[in-house]
Amino acid sequence: MISEKMMEFVKSSSVIRAMFEEGKRLADIHGAENVYDFSLGNPSVEPPQEVKEALLQVINEENPNLVHGYMNNSGFEDVRESIATSINSKFETSFNSGNIIMTVGAAGGLNVILKTLLNPGDEVITFAPFFGEYRNYVSNYDGKLVVISPNTVDFQPNLEEVEEKITAKTKAVIINTPNNPTGVIYSEATIKALASILEKKQGEYKTSIYLISDEPYRELAYDGVEVPYLTKYYRNTIVGYSYSKSLSLPGERIGYLVIPNEIDSFKDVVAAANVATRILGFVNAPSLIQRAVAKCLDAKVDLDIYNRNRELLYNSLISYGYQCVKPQGAFYLFIKALEEDDKAFCNAAKKYNILIVPGSSFGCPGYCRIAYCVNYDMIERALPGFKKLAEDYGL
Ligand code: PLP
């Protein structure tokens, strides 16, 4: 018999599994080219050429025992130093290798930092809509996820509510910008206002409230919009970065945490995060890809490809009558469902072989996520279905 907690996790992951099964079923009936799967955030753009060259260079030119061996739990010193230097040059910060811990993607980084920080019953705040896995990650360490209700006007965080919901037990706040599922980038004004609320509440409760910035989509910002670097706005910030989307390497499982010197209990947090990396079973982030990404810190996937998808899909859906805040980043559109029940609406979309994810999976019922990290021509082929779907609802 499996653990009761795992039973709950298995039950709640059934939506995605059901979607996957449904995709397969529809592809068997209609042919894969006639099924429009917008359900997954799996990058469609190829990794930049620099990644391949870097991997070959590491394999051909570096000492195999060093490349493939065990290392410090935090990762290769020279890789961490290069990453720190690169962040400093982009954001005028002053990090060094001691502030960087290499992680198994953003997911690994979040688990390491939550294990580091949480006592049972500690509260972690996040803003709906949010990446559904946060619920599981917080639960892994017996924390309690406190969800702030969505601000559906522009999907910036609802700051009034966060101020009310911070308690003496609030240990961390997780934010994700550019955001999955809305594609919205939190403005500098929002970040400043959130920082001042957190400062005030820390003072009031005499606690440390860590702001965890989950940033797998940092590099995916369009129209020149800036994504504020949060350590500059709030002292107790920890950044979780990932190369999954910026270099299209989600299967390679590589990212890092930035733990600034200025945070409360800096030395303890770094020591505990190292131990957490080990005892969660990661031991260290994968070595070959650590060495490779350090050689292409300025490389990026071709954003024009995602941007073309974004423009086509957004402009077409708006012209059919759908409502959606235009995303400035990531590769998701978050549309208002055309009926109250978002699950029923996603089911209705299947009539046209369109697979999209209900907003309730992100704590925001009444909406649906469309992942546009797909081929442009698939979007073109799917558009008549989106149009007919809108017409079915009288638009
Ligand atoms: N955080 C958010 C908001 C995500 O959307 C994802 C993946 O889609 C992750 C974390 C996990 O990313 P990684 O593949 O780097 O573990």
Query: Tokens in use for 65?
Result: 């025992």
User: What span, in angstroms and rounded, lies between the C-alpha atoms of 15 and 353?
Assistant: 17
Residue appearing with tokens 């979780």: 240
User: What span, in angstroms and rounded, lies between the C-alpha atoms of 287 and 250?
Assistant: 15
φ, ψ of residue 263 to 5 degrees: the values are: -70, 155
Substitution site in 136, 245, 289, 364 for ligand 1 pocket (most atoms within 8 Å of beta carbon): 245
Q: What is the per-residue pLDDT for 18?
A: 78
Residue appearing with tokens 């009034």: 160
DSSP string, 83-127: HHHHHHHHH-----GGGEEEESHHHHHHHHHHHHHPPTT-EEEEE
Q: What is the per-residue pLDDT for 13?
A: 77
Decide: 103 in ligand 1 pocket, CB within 6 A: no
- The verdict on domain 4-47+301-392 having CATH code 3.90.1150.10 is yes
- Residues 237 and 231 sit within 8 Å (Cβ to Cβ): yes
In the reported structure, the alpha carbon of residue 216 is separated from the centroid of ligand 1 by a whole-number distance in angstroms of 6
Each domain of the chain, given as residue ranges in start order, spans: 4-47+301-392, 49-293
Q: What is the per-residue pLDDT for 332?
A: 98
41 CA: nearest ligand 1 atom = 8
Q: What is the pLDDT of residues 278-292, one digit of tens each?
A: 999 999 999 999 999
Q: How many CB atoms lie within 10 A of CB 10?
A: 11
User: Which protein residue has the closest C-alpha to ligand 1 atom 8?
Assistant: 41
Query: Tokens in use for 37?
Result: 């799967």
User: What span, in angstroms and rounded, lies between the C-alpha atoms of 28 and 353?
Assistant: 12
255 CA: nearest ligand 1 atom = 15
Q: What is the per-residue pLDDT for 112?
A: 98
Decide: 371 in ligand 1 pocket, CB within 6 A: no
130 CA: nearest ligand 1 atom = 3
Q: Closest Cα to residue 103, out of 286, 264, 228?
A: 286
Q: What is the per-residue pLDDT for 285?
A: 98
User: Which protein residue has the closest C-alpha to ligand 1 atom 2?
Assistant: 131
In the reported structure, the alpha carbon of residue 244 is separated from the centroid of ligand 1 by a whole-number distance in angstroms of 8
Q: What is the per-residue pLDDT for 20?
A: 76
Residue appearing with tokens 């990090």: 95
Q: Closest Cα to residue 118, out of 237, 210, 187, 25?
A: 210
Whole-model pTM? 0.97
Q: At what angle do helices 105-117 and 133-140 cross, to 10 degrees?
A: 40
The alpha-carbon radius of gyration of the chain (Å, integer) is: 21
Decide: 106 in ligand 1 pocket, CB within 6 A: yes
The residues, any chain, with a CB within 8 Å of residue 348's CB and separated by 6 or more, are: 338, 339, 389, 392
| pLDDT by 10s per residue, the chain, length 395 | 999 999 988 887 767 677 778 888 898 999 988 999 999 899 999 999 999 999 999 999 999 999 999 999 999 999 999 999 999 999 999 999 999 999 999 999 999 999 999 999 999 999 999 999 999 999 999 999 999 999 999 999 999 999 999 999 999 999 999 999 999 999 999 999 999 999 999 999 999 999 999 999 999 999 999 999 999 999 999 999 999 999 999 999 999 999 999 999 999 999 999 999 999 999 999 999 999 999 999 999 999 999 999 999 999 999 999 999 999 999 999 999 999 999 999 999 999 999 999 999 999 999 999 999 999 999 999 999 999 999 999 99
The CATH code of the domain at 49-293 is 3.40.640.10
- Residues 112 and 276 sit within 8 Å (Cβ to Cβ): yes
Note whether 4-47+301-392 and 49-293 share their fold.
no
The residues, any chain, with a CB within 8 Å of residue 364's CB and separated by 6 or more, are: 128, 129, 150, 152, 181, 334
Decide: 129 in ligand 1 pocket, CB within 6 A: no
Substitution site in 134, 177, 244, 369 for ligand 1 pocket (most atoms within 8 Å of beta carbon): 244
Q: What is the per-residue pLDDT for 14?
A: 65
Q: What is the per-residue pLDDT for 368?
A: 98
In the reported structure, the alpha carbon of residue 318 is separated from the centroid of ligand 1 by a whole-number distance in angstroms of 28
The residues, any chain, with a CB within 8 Å of residue 52's CB and separated by 6 or more, are: none
